[in-house]
Amino acid sequence: MKELALKTTIYTAQMSELNEQEQSLVHQAIEAAGRSYAPYSHFNVGAALLLKNGQTIIGCNQENAAFPAGTCAERSALFAAGAQYPDEPVMMLAIAARDTNGNLTQEPVSPCGVCRQVIIETETRYRQPIRILLYGEKCVYVMDGIKQLMPLSFTEF
CA dist 141 to 8, 32, 101, 157, Å?
12, 19, 23, 23
Which residues have C-beta within 8 Å of that of residue 152, sequence separation ≥ 6? Answer: 6
Q: CB under 8 Å to 17, separation ≥6 — which residues? A: none
116-141 core/surface letters (b: 16 or more CB in 10 A; e: else):
bbbbbbbbeebeebbbbbbbbeebbb
Q: 88 catalytic, yes or no?
A: no
Pairing of strands 56-60, 11-13: unpaired
Q: Of these residues, 22, 63, 74, 121, which one is catalytic? A: 74
Active site residues: 74
